[in-house]
C-alpha cells in the first residue's frame, strides 16, 4: 500500500457490493469503460477502489475498500475474469474524472488505537462463541454438518472484517455501516448483537423442531 495519505484511485462502483480488507472479490469485467480501467490498473500498481452503489438512490458511498488484482484472465472477445483482494479502506475526498472511468482522490482509513485490549479481547471471544453457536444451530436445523473455516481470523479487527464480509447478501446497508466504523470495539459490539439475536431465533426454531419431532414419534408409538 502506498505510503501517501492521499492518492488518486480508479473506482469500480458496484450495486450493493461491500468489500472488506483481506476478503476476496471475483469480478467479471465486460463493459468497455471497466476494460479500460483494468488495463490502466494492470499497467500501474494493480489497485482500484470498490465502492457500493445504493440500487435505490443510485448514490455512491463515501467509503470503500481498495482492491488489488491477484489473478486475471482475458478472453478472445475482450471480457476479463479477475480475482481481487481487499486491502485498505478509504474515504472519497472528491471525484477527479468521470470518463473513461471514474477516479477520485481518496484518503486511507484505519481503526482508532485500542485503549482497552482486555475488554476488546473478551468481546472478540464472545463474538466468536456466538458465531459458533449460530453455525452449530444452523447445521442442526438443516440436518447437515456446517463448520467455520480453519483460517477464521483470531485478531479482533480482522475477525470483525471477516464477519462483516459474510453477512447475509441482503444486508449491504449494514455492511456499509460496519465498513465505515473506525472503532473495532463498536464494530464487534454491533456484530455480537446481530449474532446473539440470530442465535436466539435459531435456538427457538430448534426447540420447536425437536418438539414436533418428539410429537410425531409419540403419535407413531400410539
Residue 195 to residue 173: CA distance in whole angstroms = 17
Domain that holds residue 82: 6-109
The DSSP 8-state label assigned to residue 60 in this structure reads: B
In a domain, 1, yes or no: no
Pairing of the two strands 24-29 and 80-97:
antiparallel
Q: Identify whether the C-beta of residue 47 lies closer than 8 Å to the C-beta of residue 67.
A: yes
Query: Does pLDDT of 218 surpass 90?
Result: no
Tell me which of 48, 80, 109 is where a domain ends: 109
Helices 156-165 + 184-221 axis angle, to 10: 60
Q: What is the CATH number of the domain that holds 87?
A: 2.30.130.40
Are residue 164 and residue 125 in the same domain, yes or no? Answer: yes
Q: What is the pTM of this model?
A: 0.89
Tell me which of 109, 140, 159 is where a domain ends: 109
Q: What residues form DSSP beta bridges with 27?
A: 82
More confident: 4 or 73: 73
Number of separate domains in the chain: 2
Are residue 48 and residue 140 in the same domain, yes or no? Answer: no
Nearest to 172 by CA among 91, 21, 52, 23: 52
Q: What integer is the mean pLDDT of 29-55?
A: 95
Nearest to 89 by CA among 190, 165, 192, 195: 165
Tell me which of 89, 109, 129 is where a domain ends: 109
Half-sphere exposure of 77 (CA within 13 A, CB side): 5
Are residue 76 and residue 135 in the same domain, yes or no? Answer: no
In a domain, 20, yes or no: yes
For the segment 92-139, what is each residue's pLDDT rounded down to a tens digit?
999 999 999 999 999 999 999 999 999 999 999 999 999 999 999 999
Amino acid at each position: 500500500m502506498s505510503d501517501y495519505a492521499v492518492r488518486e484511485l480508479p473506482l469500480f462502483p458496484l450495486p450493493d457490493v461491500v468489500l472488506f480488507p483481506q476478503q476476496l472479490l471475483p469480478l467479471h469485467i465486460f463493459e468497455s469503460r471497466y476494460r479500460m480501467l483494468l488495463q490502466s490498473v494492470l499497467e500501474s500498481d494493480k489497485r482500484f477502489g470498490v465502492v457500493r452503489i445504493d440500487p435505490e438512490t443510485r448514490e455512491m458511498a463515501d467509503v470503500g475498500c481498495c482492491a488489488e488484482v491477484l489473478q486475471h484472465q482475458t478472453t478472445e472477445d475482450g471480457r476479463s475474469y479477475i480475482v481481487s483482494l481487499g486491502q485498505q479502506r478509504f474515504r472519497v475526498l472528491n471525484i477527479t474524472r468521470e470518463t473513461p472511468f471514474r477516479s477520485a482522490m481518496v484518503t486511507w482509513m484505519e481503526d482508532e488505537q485500542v485503549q482497552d485490549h482486555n475488554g476488546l479481547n473478551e468481546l472478540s471471544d464472545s463474538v466468536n462463541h456466538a458465531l459458533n453457536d449460530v453455525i452449530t444451530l444452523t447445521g442442526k436445523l438443516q440436518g447437515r454438518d456446517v463448520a467455520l473455516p480453519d483460517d477464521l481470523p483470531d485478531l479482533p479487527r480482522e475477525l470483525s472484517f471477516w464477519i462483516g464480509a459474510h453477512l447475509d447478501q441482503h444486508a449491504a446497508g449494514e455492511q456499509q455501516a460496519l465498513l465505515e466504523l473506525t472503532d473495532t470495539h463498536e464494530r464487534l459490539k454491533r456484530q455480537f448483537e446481530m449474532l446473539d439475536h440470530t442465535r436466539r431465533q435459531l435456538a427457538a426454531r430448534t426447540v420447536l423442531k425437536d418438539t414436533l419431532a418428539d410429537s410425531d414419534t409419540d403419535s407413531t408409538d400410539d
